[in-house]
Structure 1
Amino acid sequence: MRFAAVLNKDGGTLRTIDLEAFASRMRSTLETAGHSIDIEIVAGKDIAATLDGVASRRGIDVVLAGGGDGTISAAAARLMNGEKALAILPAGTMNLFARGLGIPQTLDAALKSFADGEVMAIDIATANGRPFVHQFSIGMHARMVQLRQKMEFGSRLGKMRASVRAAWATINNPPAMNVTLMIGEAEIRTRITGIGITNNLFGEGHLPYADNPAGGVLGIYVTVARRRGELIRFLFDVARGKWRGNEHVEIHQANRAVLKIHSTNRKVQAVMDGELVKLDRETTVEIHPRALNVLVPAGAAEAKVA
């Protein structure tokens, strides 16, 4: 296969390693397995333009993206409904989308798995037409990301510590929104502290990621917890993958959902694949079955849809 790699030197764990040395190992690993590869190492501000160029390039089979959640999501958006496959280097903090695909969680192990990997068609979702691969969320998650962005950290561990501090601050001052959520023919009007709409249902008993990335449904998680104890329990259950055991979470599934916000705050934001975005008063979220090709380790495709 013919690979084109785009590495964000400012994104995720890539900013903490010797990228030139890693690029050399990347080239050696893939070329030894009979593939060819072009590698571009760029600054974060140049990622979008570089991905545009690579995605439109003829003769490329796989776009290998390395960086944080924003880089992976941007690459997936450009490859949606196309023939080129996306290969994901797990360089983020939790790498939840990569985990759901069965990709090894170290850079070199992931790279080796691509050498004899296979292409699998999986789902991708959109919010008002903007693609996301993992989750669209409002309320608590958005508040936590907003608070974390105001903190300083220079490593993956530092980001995790900042996330804990942001979570505690959110628990002590939780957001609340009046919303209408339309799922099929059902209309739900309620006051929530958070809603997460995911690209396929999260699995149980592990970190929040989809066990079947080609399941064909949105997971819709509505959180109504308000008291401190309820919120602590909710976040604890999220980390353990115990969604269904939490009495303050409603879980729905659908291929389309419409979310209407009744808040008077004009600066309300959402989070898409870890990135803060402006939240529209009305958002239509849809799943697009098997609209994204991804490169996964050999045997993973059969395991994921079994």
Structure 2
Amino acid sequence: METYGKRVEEVFRAAGHDMEIAVVAASDILQALETACRRDDLDAIVAGGGDGTISAAAGVAWRTGMPLGVIPAGTMNLFARSLKLPLDIWKVPEVLANGRLIDGDIGSADGRAFVHQFSMGLHARMVRYRESYKFASRAGKIGASVRAAIGVIFNPPDFEIEFDADGHRELRHVSAISVSNNHFGHATLMYADDVTAGHLGFYTAPPLSPAGVAKLVFDVLRGRFRASPFITEMSALAVDLHFPKVDRKINCVIDGELLPIRRRDVALRVHPGELKLLVGA
């Protein structure tokens, strides 16, 4: 880490910028971000980590108006892919140091920021299963994800939602919900091609059999999520979800983090142009 930090400092200095490096424990990340974003002598922050860390950094940057740069150091690095940044941590500092600022979009679920997606059903169950396994490396996490996906295939969720998407109201029985910060790309893994289009992507899948879940997983892995016959999609600025038959604990996933839903309603919004992002020139 010390070697990498020195390299980042050198790259930014060569581009005419001063850079301070702080290595922060997971339990201290939010406090460190809050402190950095409230300084008046910084032009931007650069956060390195997985999608969960980047999501936390984006939430603080959004609330404080601080520009954010991203170093992809996680497993999937989906938001970095949306920003078209190199996934090699040794190459991305030069791109950021010589980059430009854009006004990107950010989503929120009951006020909690997300840069990638809010999801329920299949994805939340898979993450819950994965977190029940022990792993200590990226390869271990991938292996745990494969085991969890197999578990979900043979035990898919099935639940009822009422939703209002920009005034369109409907009741649906589903196995999965995903609300993304801008639509996912047509031929990519589940990440947006453009984070400045100013809308939410709203996707649902009907109650699925094990064979149906397996087919949907295959479509996701080959970048054909939106083309899957199981997926219904809409665009919206605001999506309100209501769960009329909740009689037990339910979970959602926000940018990779499994979280409990404590009440029967969730308000999802897009905030166009409110997240300042450092991207390649």
2: CA distance between counterparts of 1:73 and 1:193?
Answer: 25
Q: Within 5 Å, which residues of 2 pair with 1:224-243?
A: 224-243=206-225
SS in 2 for 1:108: coil
Q: Does 1:291 align with 2:277?
A: no
Q: Within 5 Å, which residues of 2 pair with 1:78-157?
A: 78-80=60-62, 82-157=64-139
Q: How big is the shift at 1:225?
A: 4.4
Compare 125-134 and 255-264 and name the one that shifted more. Answer: 255-264
Identity %: 39
SS in 2 for 1:37: coil
Q: How big is the shift at 1:244?
A: 3.5
Q: Unpaired runs of 5+ in structure 1?
A: 1-18, 299-306
Tell me which amino acid in the other structure corresponds to 2:118: F
2: CA distance between counterparts of 1:105 and 1:259?
Answer: 34
Instruction: Find 1:277's aligned residue among 253, 259, 266.
Output: 259
Q: Does 1:223 align with 2:202?
A: no
2: CA distance between counterparts of 1:287 and 1:96?
Answer: 18
Q: Does 1:183 align with 2:165?
A: yes
1:149-186: CA deviations, max 9, x gaps? Answer: 11111221221111111011011011111111111222
2: CA distance between counterparts of 1:112 and 1:213?
Answer: 22
Q: CA RMSD in A?
A: 1.2
1: CA distance between counterparts of 2:85 and 2:226?
Answer: 26
The number of residue pairs the alignment matches comes to 280
Q: How big is the shift at 1:58?
A: 0.7
2: CA distance between counterparts of 1:206 and 1:147?
Answer: 25
Is contact 2:38-2:64 (8 Å) kept? no
Tell me which amino acid in the other structure corresponds to 2:253: V
> Paired residue for 2:177?
195
Q: Within 5 Å, which residues of 2 pair with 1:294-305?
A: 294-298=277-281
Q: Does 1:210 align with 2:192?
A: yes
SS in 2 for 1:209: coil
1: CA distance between counterparts of 2:63 and 2:20?
Answer: 23
Is contact 1:177-1:262 (8 Å) kept? no
Q: How big is the shift at 1:263?
A: 3.5
Is contact 2:242-2:264 (8 Å) kept? yes
1:240-271: CA deviations, max 9, x gaps? Answer: 22134322110011000101112334310100
1: CA distance between counterparts of 2:58 and 2:185?
Answer: 22
1: CA distance between counterparts of 2:170 and 2:111?
Answer: 23
Instruction: Find 1:68's aligned residue among 50, 64, 78.
Output: 50
Is contact 1:82-1:292 (8 Å) kept? no
Tell me which amino acid in the other structure corresponds to 1:141: H
1: CA distance between counterparts of 2:226 and 2:60?
Answer: 34
Tell me which amino acid in the other structure corresponds to 1:96: L
Tell me which amino acid in the other structure corresponds to 2:39: R
Q: Does 1:257 align with 2:230?
A: no
What TM-score do you get using the length of structure 2 for normalisation? 0.96
SS in 2 for 1:293: strand
2: CA distance between counterparts of 1:207 and 1:248?
Answer: 16
2: CA distance between counterparts of 1:263 and 1:73?
Answer: 30
Tell me which amino acid in the other structure corresponds to 1:102: K
SS in 1 for 2:136: coil
Q: Unpaired runs of 5+ in structure 2?
A: none
1:184-217: CA deviations, max 9, x gaps? Answer: 2221211111100000000111111111110111
Instruction: Find 1:55's aligned residue among 37, 41, 48.
Output: 37
SS in 2 for 1:233: helix
